[in-house]
Amino acid sequence: MCRQHLQLRMKMFHNGMKVSFKHIMKMELQLRAHNHQVETLQLRGKSTVGKTNKLIKMIQFHKGTLISKMTAIQIVLQKL
């Protein structure tokens, strides 16, 4: 799926328009895969709290789309 399409769907979802649950799960899986790659590169040698906070921020700003902090925290919790 192309980046613009993903951004559009995420914006639609966050503006309260309907996006299928299956699609949201797919986006979360993509986010998780991406964050796992980034995590292995950038989060070495930091405290657990620091890692988690950085991860939350990275998920929030993933591909230039701001997600609510609550959603980001849920993704992090699912990931751990």
Per-residue pLDDT, 47: 59
Rounded Cα gap, residues 38 and 76, in angstroms: 13
How is residue 41 written in tokens?
Answer: 């590169």
At residue 1 the predicted structure's pLDDT band, cuts being 50, 70 and 90, is very low
Q: What is the mean pLDDT of the chain?
A: 63
Q: Model pTM? A: 0.28
Greater model confidence, 46 or 28: 28
Contact between residue 64 and residue 7 where contact means Cβ atoms under 8 Å apart: yes
pLDDT tens-digit profile of 3-28?
Answer: 666 666 666 555 555 556 566 666 66
Distance of CA 30 to the CA centre of its chain: 8
Angle, CA of 66, 74 and 26, to the nearest 5°: 70
